[in-house]
Amino acid sequence: MASSSGIESILHENRIFPPAPEFSAAAHVKTMAEYEALCRRADQDPEAFWESVARELHWFQPWTKVLEWNAPFAKWFNGGKINLSYNCLDRHLSTARRNKAAIIWESEPGEVVTLTYQQLHGEVCRFTNVLKSAGVNTGDRVAIYMGMSPALPIAMLACARLGAPHTVVFGGFSAVALADRIQDCRASCVITQDGAIRRGAELKLKAIVDEALLSCPTVKRAIVYRRTGSPQQMQPGRDLWWHEEMSRASDECEALPLDAEHPLYLLYTSGTTGKPKGILHTTGGYSVGTYATTKWVFDLKETDVYWCTADIGWVTGHSYLVYGPLQNGATVLMYEGAPFTPTPDRFWIMIDKHKVNVFYTAPTAIRSFMRLGDEHPRKYAMKSLRLLGSVGEPINPEAWMWYRDVIGRNRCPIVDTWWQTETGAIMISPLPGATPTKPGSATRPLPGIAADVVDREGNPVPPGSGGFLVVKKPWPSMLRTIYGDPERFRQTYFSQIPGIYFTGDGARKDSDGYFWVMGRIDDVLNVSGHRLSTMEVESALVAHPKVAEAAVVGRPDEIKGQALAAFVTLQAGVPATNELKDELRAWVAKEIGAMARPDDIRFSEALPKTRSGKIMRRLLREVATGAEVKGDVTTLEDFNVISKLRAQEEE
Ligand code: WTA
């Protein structure tokens, strides 16, 4: 179906699954009529709506104005004083949740550590004192480069308590990528661990930090959590052991009343240029958004064990492993390691062992489980499961049906949640007790979220037509800016379709108003649910001395969603060999991280370009996919290029 936006929509899916009556009866939102009433209320008076949600949290001082909207800059709950660490911890200590498990952590080797709310509170207070004595002040940026150890949420909550914005850098990023991020936000402190355990091996994180810090003069302190016990070289005057500092610190530390707009964290994400963007979230609005969406979408019950499998290095871990569930007083299961270690049924063993009720994972994981075979999950009862979630990329109906049948035993609703690092919280998702679901659709926007599908001029497209996914009104957990670059913020999100937030995704709405997200329409790829920019990988390749030019595109991949295909032109006289392909793959892993390693590399004497010198990515995508090249090639600079690239396919 062609549309005025030029985006074609091809997916058709007619199955529909209403929630089970027993599920609805116990849910926070029980019917579509209730959902629609909430939407109407939010639509008619958004400020009153969000204000009523915000009142469920603890504020040291109430706000004076709900929203100041100076497009594209928003201020929510201005004048209010709040602390997210307080809302995650202290607030529960005067209730029966005091001795409830906040975090149940399982290591990859199988050790289990449980921290109650009171214990977690004590650890966070202690570590806040450690940060203070290490010279970290309110407002200072702290980089966190850790594995999935319990120290990671403790470190984040301590930063939030102090008002020192954290930037968590995923442990799979290279020293170069880590240094880029530290330099961009001029962090003064890094929190890391000796090593992280993954697939039975140790990834030496502290050594990577040492390498990164060679080019990060702003960093005065590194605090090192001991996880593996492997020998470390501590740099005197800079490096401190977590356990030594903790043993000296008091477990009392008041949470600081912070302005609602006080920066909470930065999270770097890929955009359409080579330089990652520091997405800035602030305290009040982000707290409200993650609190409310966790409650609505995961429909948490006091007794639930909730498991989000995301790494905290990504936004899903921030919002739905740490801040959203803890504000709701939930019991969170946190797993350190890889999904198939030591056996392909690790997740299903853990679900039965911890009696997990709510399970939130990514389509790429679901597709890997599918490929491994039904026999693994089928061996386990998994009777505790009552709700399943999906996030990170479009879920194909086949994987959705498999998830429902083989994991959910046709009993658990599925919430396919659409959102982004930038949105801070879930935006489009079923409410599990209310919304009938359709495999592959994130269904409808949450109350208060003015999402729509529009053409280039911002006009809504008719049902069934593809268009640009936008959000027409500000919402509390929205990003406030790109750190240090407000102009790039405006340009990236509010200029394509003037004045309204453009997500970068294409989508269509069906005649029931259900959203079908089709994926990125910019130069951002989604590889195994990780956002990568083609430009970022291209600049890494071009930085290699033997490379003259590079173009990177995505091609469909059964498991990863998208795979990375790189087209490379070498410097004159450099022979094109398979060894060089391996060298380039390793180079990209070193420059960015292993997740950015190209799946395919093809050498080419030239890249197809328009007369104005623009690389013709559409053609390269067709070549990478193996489809017949049918695009218009009349403007090609070198017509031969395409056939030469295709000829390499069999290699
Ligand atoms: C994609 C992850 C379809 C989308 C929370 C978005 C999805 C990007 C879904 C953000 C979904 C995420 N259905 N696509 N349920 N969830 N996406 O910033 O392209 O890592 O723009 O945030 O992932 O990725 P990010």
* Residue with CA nearest ligand 1 atom 5: 420
CA 343 / ligand 1 centre spacing (Å): 29
pLDDT tens digits, 166-199: 999 999 999 999 999 999 999 999 999 999 999 9
Share of the chain above pLDDT 90, in %: 85
Distances (CA, A) of 283 to 163, 176, 555: 9, 29, 38
Which residue, among 463, 459, 454, 449, has the nearest Cα to 418 in the 3D structure? Answer: 449
pLDDT tens digits, 249-274: 999 999 999 999 999 999 999 877 66
Q: Among 526, 532, 533, say which to mutate for ligand 1: greatest number of ligand atoms within 8 Å of CB.
A: 526
- For residue 9 and ligand 1, the question of a CB distance below 6 A is answered with no
CA 320 / ligand 1 centre spacing (Å): 14
Helix, strand or coil for residue 382?
coil
Q: Among 9, 420, 503, 505, say which to mutate for ligand 1: greatest number of ligand atoms within 8 Å of CB.
A: 420
Closest atom, ligand 1, to C-alpha of 504: 21
Q: Among 418, 422, 562, say which to mutate for ligand 1: greatest number of ligand atoms within 8 Å of CB.
A: 418
Q: What's the token pair of residue 592?
A: 């960015």
Residue 651, pLDDT above cutoff 50: no
Q: State how far the Cα of 315 lies from the Cα of 461, in Å rounded to an integer.
A: 30
515-520 and 501-509: which strand pairing? antiparallel
Reading phi first (left if > 0) and then psi (alpha if -120 to 50, else beta), residue 613 is in left
101-106 and 112-116: which strand pairing? antiparallel
CA 505 / ligand 1 centre spacing (Å): 9
Query: Among 148-162, 477-491, 510-524, which is the least confidently predicted range?
Result: 510-524
According to DSSP, residue 228 is labeled: S
* Residue with CA nearest ligand 1 atom 6: 420
Residue 640, phi then psi, degrees to nearest 5 = -70, -25
pLDDT tens digits, 279-290: 999 999 999 999
Contact between residue 427 and residue 471 where contact means Cβ atoms under 8 Å apart: yes
- Measured on CA atoms in the order 565, 570, 576, 580, is the torsion positive or negative? negative
Q: What's the token pair of residue 9?
A: 């929509």
Residue 6, pLDDT above cutoff 70: no
Which domains occur in the chain, in start order? 21-83+270-517 (3.40.50.12780), 85-256 (3.40.50.12780), 544-650 (3.30.300.30)
Residue 419, phi then psi, degrees to nearest 5 = -170, -175
C-alpha distance across the termini of the chain, in Å:
36
- Measured on CA atoms in the order 585, 591, 595, 600, is the torsion positive or negative? negative
Q: State how far the Cα of 411 lies from the Cα of 334, in Å rounded to an integer.
A: 24
- For residue 364 and ligand 1, the question of a CB distance below 6 A is answered with no
pLDDT tens digits, 293-307: 999 999 999 999 999
Residue with tokens 């399982």: 106
Of residues 647 and 107, more confidently modeled: 107
CA 129 / ligand 1 centre spacing (Å): 36
Which H or E run contains 350? helix 346-354
pLDDT band of residue 532 (cuts 50, 70, 90) is confident
CA 395 / ligand 1 centre spacing (Å): 10
CA 531 / ligand 1 centre spacing (Å): 8
Distances (CA, A) of 594 to 170, 200, 365: 11, 17, 17
Give the residue-averaged pLDDT of 96-113: 98
Q: State how far the Cα of 96 lies from the Cα of 57, in Å rounded to an integer.
A: 17
pLDDT tens digits, 211-261: 999 999 999 999 999 999 999 999 999 999 999 999 999 999 999 999 999
Contact between residue 324 and residue 290 where contact means Cβ atoms under 8 Å apart: yes
Q: What's the token pair of residue 54?
A: 């915000």
Closest atom, ligand 1, to C-alpha of 394: 3
Q: What angle do CA 171, 269, 590 make, to 5 degrees?
A: 45
Contact between residue 388 and residue 378 where contact means Cβ atoms under 8 Å apart: no
Q: State how far the Cα of 571 lies from the Cα of 56, in Å rounded to an integer.
A: 61
CA 525 / ligand 1 centre spacing (Å): 10
How many angstroms separate the most distant Cα atoms in the chain? Answer: 73
CA 418 / ligand 1 centre spacing (Å): 6
Contact between residue 322 and residue 102 where contact means Cβ atoms under 8 Å apart: no
- For residue 603 and ligand 1, the question of a CB distance below 6 A is answered with no
Which H or E run contains 182? helix 175-185
- For residue 520 and ligand 1, the question of a CB distance below 6 A is answered with yes
Instruction: For the chain, give percent helix, strand, coil, nearest 5.
Output: 35, 25, 40
pLDDT in the model for residue 636: 47
pLDDT in the model for residue 650: 42
pLDDT tens digits, 548-587: 989 999 999 999 999 999 999 999 999 999 999 999 999 9
Residue with tokens 């008619």: 44
- For residue 441 and ligand 1, the question of a CB distance below 6 A is answered with no
Per the confidence metrics, is the pTM higher than 0.95? Answer: no
- For residue 517 and ligand 1, the question of a CB distance below 6 A is answered with yes
Query: Among 463-477, 524-538, 630-644, which is the least confidently predicted range?
Result: 630-644
- For residue 393 and ligand 1, the question of a CB distance below 6 A is answered with yes
* Residue with CA nearest ligand 1 atom 24: 420
Which H or E run contains 48? helix 46-54
Which H or E run contains 561? strand 561-570
- For residue 519 and ligand 1, the question of a CB distance below 6 A is answered with yes
Distances (CA, A) of 632 to 616, 619, 636, 639: 10, 9, 9, 11
pLDDT in the model for residue 14: 83
pLDDT band of residue 616 (cuts 50, 70, 90) is confident
- For residue 392 and ligand 1, the question of a CB distance below 6 A is answered with yes
Strand order of the β-sheet with 358-361 is 112-116, 101-106, 331-335, 305-308, 358-361, 387-391, 414-417
Q: State how far the Cα of 312 lies from the Cα of 322, in Å rounded to an integer.
A: 8
According to DSSP, residue 594 is labeled: G
pLDDT band of residue 534 (cuts 50, 70, 90) is confident
Closest atom, ligand 1, to C-alpha of 531: 20
Which residue, among 516, 497, 514, has the nearest Cα to 506 in the 3D structure? Answer: 516
Residue 627, pLDDT above cutoff 90: no
- For residue 528 and ligand 1, the question of a CB distance below 6 A is answered with no
Q: State how far the Cα of 349 lies from the Cα of 379, in Å rounded to an integer.
A: 9
Share of the chain above pLDDT 70, in %: 94
Length of the chain: 651
